Structure 1
Amino acid sequence: MSRPLLIEIAVCTYRRSSLSDTLASIAAVAVPEQAALRIIVADNDIEESARGAIEAIRAQIAHQVIYLHCPAGNISIARNACLDQATGDYLAFVDDDELVTSGWLTALLATAKQTNAAAVLGPVSARYGKNAPAFMIDGDFHSTKPVLVNGEIKTGYTCNLLLDRNAEAFRGRRFDLALGRCGGEDTTFLADLHAAGGKIAFANKALVIEPVAEERASIGWLAGRRFRSGQTHARILHRTAVAPGLALEIVRAALKALVCFGACLAMWFLPVDRWRHALRGILHLGVIAGLLGVHEATHYGGPSPAARSTPDVA
């Protein structure tokens, strides 16, 4: 008999009380046929702050759980620790504030097999609290799906991702430590994987739920996120374009920003459309800033010591 397919689920965490709910949802996920699961939790805090949550829920999880302490405050350190620890056929990533649905993993795996993709993305559906602005709920500004460019997915995210560890484009790939405190490390990782010939597919039924924290339910938070996304896109352009091309990209981004802000003013009395165009314009401003060398703001932790991880397996 052939061995079971081993699928590992990685959760990188930093001082989030929601981790227990995330792990409980993973414990209840439907296991794909002829597959075995293993869960890897990478704690990116200086202290082992997630260990208590792991110990409390281990008895409720039928699958093996590996706890990695990989300080500190640099998400790329945690993601790379998961890459180093993984030995299975597939490695999935979800965030520590998300809830996976029962058929999530089965849908990701089915799409991976059908498409022979190196990476498969799933949708992230936001759940808003009662204090979220009406326009944000109506326009569903926090939900996540991949962007198609000429019918193709060229980059993505780690908040709902399955990687084929046997894919040639995956081999030797790492998350950039320079982006581990500002974000965008997942976008760059997947853009590089695609550039190396790795196909990125989308599994529409592989649903993950993200409750939107109150501090994120603001236009200010969304604006900061879009601006940073623009800066990340600029980093990718820097890798593929020479100076004359970068100058053209700045002009192009400036024109797009003007169009977006003009549409924002024209639709001022339609809140969803107004803010959608405004946020798109802010993204293009982020592209300009990135191309001009403006560094991204820090979003994760403090100074990052040399990467290290201490596994604890049960």
Structure 2
Amino acid sequence: MFKFCCVDWEMTIRVTVCLCTFRRPALSNALQSLVNQIIPDGVTMDVVVADNDPHESGRPIVESYAKEGSLPITYVVAHEPGVASARNCSVANARGEWLAFIDDDEEADVDWVQALLKCAEAHQASVVIGPVIACYPSEAPSWIVNGDFFGKRVPASGTQLGTGATCNALVRKDALPDQLCPFSLEFNTTGGEDTEMFSQMVSAGHRIVSCQEARVTETVEPHRLNEDFLLRKARRVGETYARIFISPKGIALQTIDIVRACIQTLVASVISLMLHPLGMEKSMHYKIKAYANLGKLLHMMKRNPIELYKG
């Protein structure tokens, strides 16, 4: 049974955009895209920026927009280092009954919030997940651009999902596992805290759906445009999957998943090698699959995890 979205859509709806930041000048572009939002009648919107930099590097950027007064913006410092801590800080300071999540290196389409709310109402969903369109700088290798390795697609709008990500999401606040600290601090340095939270919500009976119309754009940072970063991220994805979905199982079911991951690692590696003469684009898709499954195995072997958010 699903817990449907019990919202009176005739009443005024308040949306708080939760935006975490850490030493990113691109924060200015994200905020400008929020200022530009076309807010439908009966909806109010404000923004909470949680800065995980103890030196408060984001404060001048936020204050410059707050002074304009066109959009209520609250600036808070998340003193405990880590991505989960920063997200929890933004949620704890949010006043809306709906929370919209976007990253500090992304820009939202002008109808982003409107599209998310419309989809939530149409499908009686507690969570809506939108796509991330990758924008590649001119120096990006052609195989990364052609393979679109940083884009995050979603299926047709209204499709039911098993989990989600906070890079583009709308969440009903009272559906969160914990309305103050919904993200587990165990994922502070690795990431994956959003995957765990959304999977918990699905287990609790909440509906998560996709929305292709609610688009955000991410300009990929140059230091990520390489094979090493993609493979580290793929391994971390596999580690997160094993941590959330395999480790809690009994020994028998764990064994089945481990054998499956071994086979998938081997098959994907072989296909990647076979496709290598045809170019990096085709080969890397399978190499990433291999590393994701390798990540599952390494987690089950209790190897040290990839820490994408450390330091």
TM-score (ref. length: structure 1): 0.90
* Structure 2 residue 234 is matched with structure 1 residue 226: yes
Q: RMSD of aligned C-alpha atoms?
A: 1.9
User: Number of paired residues?
Assistant: 299
Shift in Å, 1:296: 1.6
Is contact 1:173-1:189 (8 Å) kept? no
1:298 equivalenced with 2:287 (yes/no):
no
Letter in 2 for 1:53: I
Are the counterparts in 2 of residues 74 and 181 from structure 1 also a CA contact under 8 Å?
A: yes
Change over 3 Å in CA distance of 1:146–1:241 after alignment to 2? farther
Shift of 1:158: 0.5
Where in structure 2 are the equivalents of 1:1-314 lying within 5 Å?
4-146=12-154, 152-167=160-175, 174-238=182-246, 240-271=248-279, 272-302=281-311
Q: 1:157 to 1:61 in 2, by over 3 A?
A: farther
What SS does structure 1 have at the residue aligned with 2:92?
Answer: helix
Structure 1, unaligned runs of 5 or more: 303-314
Tell me the amino acid that sits aligned with residue 220 of structure 2.
V
**Greater CA deviation, 57-66 or 110-119?**
57-66
SS of 2:292's equivalent in the other structure is helix
Instruction: Give the deviation of 1:173 after TM superposition.
Output: 6.3
Q: Report if aligned partners of 1:118, 1:169 keep a CA contact under 8 Å in 2.
A: no
Displacement, 1:171?
Answer: 5.6
Q: Which residue of 1 aligns with 2:3?
A: none
- Identity value in percent: 30
User: Given that residues 169 and 197 in structure 1 are in contact (C-alpha distance below 8 angstroms), is that contact kept between their aligned partners in structure 2?
Assistant: no
Give SS of 2:171's match: strand
Query: Structure 2 stretches of 5 or more lacking a match?
Result: 1-9
Change (3 A) 1:290 1:220: same
Partner of 2:7: none
Whole-angstrom CA distance in 1 between matches of 2:16 and 2:191: 23
- Look up the SS of the partner of 1:294 in the other structure: coil
Point out 4+ residue stretches in structure 1 off by more than 6 angstroms: none
Query: Deviations along 1:155-203, whole A, 9 cap, x unmatched?
Result: 1110001001233767676101010111111111111111111111011
> What's the TM-score, normalizing by structure 2?
0.91
Larger RCO (alpha carbons 8 Å, 6+ apart): 1
Instruction: Deviation per CA, 1:21-44: give whole Å up to 9, x if none.
Output: 110111101113310001000011
